Structure 1
Amino acid sequence: MVEIRKALQGLHQPQAYPEKIASERLPLDRNESPLLPSAFVQEAIIQEFSQLSRYPENSAFALRQALGERWQLAPDHFLIGNGSFEILSLLAQVFLDQTSQVIVPQGTFVWHKKFSHFSGAQVETVPLDPHYQVPLAAIKAAIIPETKMIWLTDPFNPTGTKLRPEELHQFCGEVPSSVVIVIDEAYMEFADGDTIENSRKLVADFDNVILLRTFSKFYRLASVRIGYAAAQPALIQMILPYRIPPNHNRLGVAAAVASLADDESQQETLRFMKAEKSHLTQAFMELGLKVIPSQANFLFVSLEKHPSSLIDQLAEQVIFKPGKYFGYPSHFRLTIGTANQNRQVIEIVKQLIN
């Protein structure tokens, strides 16, 4: 009888593809953008149609150059991936094995743990603090000689909380240089303040830090699967030989380059997200729910005194992420949708409570 690797046995049950069932529920679980790519970005994609029979340039130099201009770093600081998701897998394959320990915060993106398990590593989980923050001091205290990697997410998914830049910088300086610190910044563009400068400083100052970003969320390009890593060139060069070439597509690279230049759309996204988060937060609070202040494109909501059955009732009309998957059974994570979807959710919750 065929068996999977012993290191993976018992971690997950065999899984079949779910049946494709049309649903009238509001789809607010995947943290996608409710806004469409601009006409400028769509035209950049169309311009590549005549080249679809050709493989894309192997290193995605045009995109790495555009990122270098944005970050004020040379293009060799960047590795392009088939979404940042692919790079997560690649990092685990390159740096981890059965002798490794990795550290993750409670509730972290499940694939941080899965990719670690695939490589045979042992995973140590550190609980969040009472304010839903990633506890850097507790993570540092969990480091042992076998620790090979720390997975962080900033802003954190599912809570939307953000680390203080100066504390994160200090943490990176205190972690042994033999430990790879991976910081998943998939939602960083939604955060307040200068989201490039603090990240650029981490890359410039530490040779064991790898930052990950994506064009799926803020830049409205989830379907074209483009993400990237930012790190010192020597670290990128360690990873590069194990990348499948080419691991990106022509349309995605063109769309990503155009999106970086599309300042108008970026500002539109920020205005929309600020207004809709504020509207949803206020409405939920008036209904007696607690909303964790979010620096991302989703909200983490606590039922407070309402019965836990409210989550099951809400799930009959809305697709969201129940908090039980993150260790918070009385919470749920809700993607910020279109203005119409957000108002529908408010009315649904209001009816269920009243």
Structure 2
Amino acid sequence: MTSNQILMATETAHPTLRAAVAGLPSYVPGRRSAGEDIAALASNESHYEPLPAAAAAVAEAAGRMNRYPDMAAVELRERIAAHLAVTAEEVAVGPGSVGVLQQIITGLCDAGDEVIFAWRSFEAYPILVELAGAKPVRIPLDDAEGHDLDAMAAAVTDRTRIVLLCTPNNPTGVPISHERIEAFLRSIRSDILVVIDEAYVEYAETGSGPDSLSLYREFPNMCILRTFSKAYGLAGLRVGYAVAAPAIAEGLRRTAIPFAVTALAQKAAIASLDASDEMEARTAVVKQERSRLSAQLAAQGWTLQPSQGNFLWIRADDDLRARLVGAFDQADIMVRAYPGDGVRITVADPASNDRVLQVMATILAVHAA
């Protein structure tokens, strides 16, 4: 090849994305509200303002935002550890539970390794797995919209490194019982990390899901994943955490992006834990509204599984899903649609929930006709 040919080839070449990235689906967030009359029920955010103590902590910490945060998040990890009766060495933090999950997958998976999860479940799961060069293994939900743990256990191969269990499941709201997870843990290899994703655990009724801390103490290959984005109302600050065996937790801290959890987020999370009574009072109201919505939708004729999250799930084919989304759009209500599967509706304030009931009654009558 002549020097001119080399120059021409160089001039026409351009950087390209990795094949795994080029073919990666984008995470689809819930649509944002564009006006005061819009009911934003597409993202499972808290519909309360931040806890006063958390807002005060952020305001106080803002005066030092010119300084880097504590990369090790020592104070926050110690406070989480005290809250859960574990040690700080067992705690790793990150930018939301999804950020910590990325640390988990990065820390454990090589190219071609497998990560098993239910589907449909949290939409970020396959994206994070593929981004790491690993293989997502989707196991269909059972007839009750929950995890088919027998099928998940049967899907384990020599390349399986992680199993993700979302309880209560997003978007269906169905929890996994303590007994079923315990049996599952006993049935699979001890070198597989089983991640219990409890992003919505604060909204679950006691006993509906697992006692994850007791399971963690018995099974060292288990990891608990939680967030401050939902019940604690810190979605805009991005802070979540994992509880794992010290060696695993240390690896998660190593794979974290430096300074990813801001000082404001760390201080707000600590203040939120200290205001747990107020947070629990808020979640109690959400539970009451969830029960009211569920009962009235059932009375209208809708079929839905009991939810333990701050949302309800309507299984719908594409025709019904389109009708639902169209009717909600007309009523200035934003919900989350999942093509081929259904619609998720966040439980909000009573007035917004009443608007949901009105739309659902109308669309059911039209659909039945």
Q: Same fold (TM over 0.5)?
A: yes
Instruction: Give distance in 2, aligned partners of 1:195 and 1:61.
Output: 32
2:328–2:359 Cα contact (<8 Å) kept: no
Instruction: Give distance in 2, aligned partners of 1:88 and 1:157.
Output: 15
DSSP-derived class of the 2:211 partner: helix
Q: What corresponds to 1:127 in structure 2?
A: 140
Q: What corresponds to 1:22 in structure 2?
A: 34
The answer to whether the aligner puts 1:35 opposite 2:51 as a matched pair is: no
Q: 1:308 to 1:215 in 2, by over 3 A?
A: closer
Q: Which runs of 4+ in 1 moved over 3 A?
A: 7-13, 19-25, 194-197, 306-309, 351-354
State how 1:264-283 maps to structure 2 within 5 Å: 264-283=277-296
DSSP-derived class of the 1:67 partner: helix
DSSP-derived class of the 1:172 partner: helix
Q: What corresponds to 1:347 in structure 2?
A: 358
Q: What corresponds to 1:320 in structure 2?
A: 335
The CA deviation string for residues 282-301 of structure 1, in whole angstroms up to 9 with x for no partner, is: 22122211221011100012
Q: What corresponds to 1:333 in structure 2?
A: 344
The answer to whether the aligner puts 1:153 opposite 2:166 as a matched pair is: yes
State how 1:236-255 maps to structure 2 within 5 Å: 236-255=249-268
Instruction: Give distance in 2, aligned partners of 1:56 and 1:234.
Output: 24
Residue 144 of structure 1 and its aligned partner are, at CA, apart by 0.8
What residue identity is the alignment partner of 1:231? Answer: A
State how 1:187-336 maps to structure 2 within 5 Å: 187-193=200-206, 198-302=211-315, 307-316=320-329, 317-324=332-339, 327-328=340-341, 331-336=342-347
What residue identity is the alignment partner of 1:343? Answer: D
What residue identity is the alignment partner of 1:54? Answer: R
Moved more, 158-167 or 1-10: 1-10
DSSP-derived class of the 1:346 partner: helix
Residue 116 of structure 1 is aligned with which of 129, 133, 150?
A: 129
Residue 313 of structure 1 and its aligned partner are, at CA, apart by 2.3
The answer to whether the aligner puts 1:106 opposite 2:119 as a matched pair is: yes
Q: 1:127 to 1:353 in 2, by over 3 A?
A: closer
1:71–1:197 Cα contact (<8 Å) kept: no
The CA deviation string for residues 89-124 of structure 1, in whole angstroms up to 9 with x for no partner, is: 222222222221221111121211111111222222
Residue 274 of structure 1 and its aligned partner are, at CA, apart by 1.7
Q: What corresponds to 1:49 in structure 2?
A: 62
What residue identity is the alignment partner of 2:349? Answer: T
Q: 1:313 to 1:49 in 2, by over 3 A?
A: closer
TM-score for both structures, normalised by structure 2 = 0.86
The CA deviation string for residues 28-51 of structure 1, in whole angstroms up to 9 with x for no partner, is: 011000111222222222222322
Q: 1:224 to 1:195 in 2, by over 3 A?
A: farther
What residue identity is the alignment partner of 2:196? Answer: I
Moved more, 186-195 or 247-256: 186-195
Residue 73 of structure 1 and its aligned partner are, at CA, apart by 0.8
The CA deviation string for residues 258-290 of structure 1, in whole angstroms up to 9 with x for no partner, is: 111113312222321121112211221222112
Q: What corresponds to 1:88 in structure 2?
A: 101
Instruction: Give distance in 1, aligned partners of 2:264 and 2:40.
Output: 26
DSSP-derived class of the 2:165 partner: strand
2:204–2:309 Cα contact (<8 Å) kept: yes
Structure 2 residues not aligned, in runs of 5+: 1-13
1:204–1:232 Cα contact (<8 Å) kept: no
Moved more, 308-317 or 176-185: 308-317
2:104–2:252 Cα contact (<8 Å) kept: yes
Instruction: Give distance in 2, aligned partners of 1:11 and 1:239.
Output: 24
TM-score for both structures, normalised by structure 1 = 0.90
Structure 1 residues not aligned, in runs of 5+: none
Identical positions, percent: 28
Aligned residues: 348
Instruction: Give distance in 2, aligned partners of 1:242 and 1:332.
Output: 35
DSSP-derived class of the 1:7 partner: helix
DSSP-derived class of the 1:222 partner: coil
1:71–1:196 Cα contact (<8 Å) kept: no
The CA deviation string for residues 27-85 of structure 1, in whole angstroms up to 9 with x for no partner, is: 10110001112222222222223222222222112211111111111111101111112
What residue identity is the alignment partner of 1:56? Answer: P
What residue identity is the alignment partner of 1:264? Answer: D
Residue 126 of structure 1 and its aligned partner are, at CA, apart by 0.9
Q: 1:339 to 1:3 in 2, by over 3 A?
A: same
